[in-house]
Structure 1
Amino acid sequence: MTRSKHVDFWKNSLIGLVFVFLYLPILVIIVFSFNTSKLNILFKGFTFKWYALVFHNVQIMSALENTLIVGIISTALATIIGTLGAIGMQKYNFPGKAILDKVLYIPIVIPEVVLGIALLSIYSLAGIPLSLFSLILAHVTFCIPFVVLTVRSRLVGIDQTLEEAALDLGATPLKAFIQVLLPLLIPGIISGAGFSFALSIDDVIISFFTTGPASTTFPLQVYAMVKTGITPEINAISTLMMLVIVVGIAANAIFQVSKLKRSKRK
């Protein structure tokens, strides 16, 4: 009994240390985002002025706008192309399928810096100027494999006889796809789109190589600010980013709970 308590003590202590290591820096960032002093050493007073400065900073707002534009467009394109590619790879056989299947996942396994340099070289050879267009093209390139992987994993679990039954009952291939297969793929498509959007708005390395000076993204802007030192303004930006994530997770949890309750009522 004593040995069991001793083991539990060390186990709980280790878990506690892990949580402190993970969340104490986040707590420090949040606390010092309200600090009146520019120095992240002592907390001298409470203020919201750094949050006001963030929203009135033209560079930050412009970078945030670019990030959202790139994220939304690249996610939409990657989701459409990736979904169609996943369906084609899963349902049809064609020459070179095995090779394409391996090549498709190269952007996932190679380092981002290698992919960024490769894309920059291609843009240089093709004469494509570095702008939002080149950035969107780069983000679509590395997001497509994640959509394909997510949608294909969903396709594997779908009974293919459902679509075949719809065709036997007189539905056209397009109608069978829209009314039978597509609704079953929606969870996988949404997951792939969400994954792509998260990757896009958070990317630094590939964006660094493929964007121009007039199309800076939010992560690149924050990175440039951090190089000159951590200020309460950066802490405020980090806190706002965490708040958005927490709100998103909470909204998803509420949606899942309400969905579960509705399914139980039925």
Structure 2
Amino acid sequence: MPRFLKFSLWAGFAFLYAPIFVLIGYSFNASRRGSVWGGFSTHWYGELFRDEQILNAAWISLKIGVLSATGATILGLLGAVAMVRFGKFRGRTLFAGLMSAPLVMPEVITGISLLLLFISAEQLIGWPAGRGLLTITIAHITFCTAFVLVVLQPRMASMERSLEEASRDLGAGPVTTFFLVTLPVIAPAIVSGWLLAFILSFDDLVIASFTAGPGSTTLPMLIFSKIKIAVSPDINALATIIILVAALGLVAAMFFSRRQSD
């Protein structure tokens, strides 16, 4: 490899990962000031697990993430089936455009639109009553479905139709074929879509800020409120734990993928 390409490669890695390593290092800072090194200590990890506010926000984000990812995966799967298996139908172009709109729509616009929708629905039919976990979950399902569809549609389009045809020839109905043949084949894409939707929901700040209410503060909202003045060491410790969990998930995914390929 030419020296220039090597330099560009390592410069890119440094640009991406050097700030992360600095953050991890400062999570072991003994000082109360996150930007001033005061010696090595694990004190802030203990403080983090004793902070009820952070633990409650993390639990809320996990619940919303799981529910949103599950709902978005179901809707994205149905949308992929409609786009791939039903061919050309009336309104296909409009349907594809509506499903893809959240991909390019600014989150601020999406958040404001959903907030106005929830307020109008509450005034007209009384549901949803106020803003909280339900409204955040609905909002996250709305914009995560498009990302799941992007993952599932190519996988379904590239699937061998002969497998489904063989199942039908052996006497299986369309529903049985879908659950026993189609779903197992596209299962890796379904898992990938679910994980992508979960990460998007867990990481969201803008849309959740518009659709949240009292008692429904998510972890990104709490972190944003804490770092408005300065970054505290306990936030560095929280970020380090999140990075560790994400890294372990990536390693586990690579391990299972390698085992399947072998």
TM over 0.5: yes
| Equivalent residue for 2:118, pick from 113, 120, 123 | 123
2:51 is aligned to: 57
Q: Deviations over 1:35-60 (max 9, x none)?
A: 11112344222111101111111110
Provide the alpha-carbon RMSD of the alignment: 1.6
In structure 2, distance between residues paired with 1:88 and 1:12: 46
Structure 1 residue 24, shift from structure 2 partner: 2.1
The 1:229/1:91 distance shift into structure 2, 3 A limit, reads same
Quick check: 1:110 aligned with 2:72? no
1:258 is aligned to: 259
What TM-score do you get using the length of structure 2 for normalisation? 0.92
Q: Structure 1: any 5+ residue segments left out of the alignment?
A: 262-266
Q: Deviations over 1:122-162 (max 9, x none)?
A: 01111131110000000100111111221111011012232
Q: What amino acid maps onto 1:53 in structure 2?
A: E
- Count of aligned positions: 255
The 1:174/1:234 distance shift into structure 2, 3 A limit, reads same
Alignment of structure 1 residues 4-83 onto 2, 5 Å: 8=3, 10-83=4-77
In structure 1, distance between residues paired with 2:214 and 2:16: 35
Q: Secondary structure at the match of 2:250?
A: helix
In structure 2, distance between residues paired with 1:148 and 1:14: 34
**In percent, how many aligned pairs have the same letter?**
37
Structure 1 residue 250, shift from structure 2 partner: 1.1
2:192 is aligned to: 191
In structure 2, distance between residues paired with 1:41 and 1:145: 39
2:204 is aligned to: 203
In structure 2, distance between residues paired with 1:196 and 1:259: 24
Highest CA radius of gyration, 1 or 2? 1
The 1:11/1:149 distance shift into structure 2, 3 A limit, reads closer
Q: What amino acid maps onto 1:245 in structure 2?
A: A
What TM-score do you get using the length of structure 1 for normalisation? 0.91
1:95 is aligned to: 90
Q: What amino acid maps onto 1:123 in structure 2?
A: F
Structure 1 residue 11, shift from structure 2 partner: 4.1
Q: What amino acid maps onto 1:85 in structure 2?
A: G
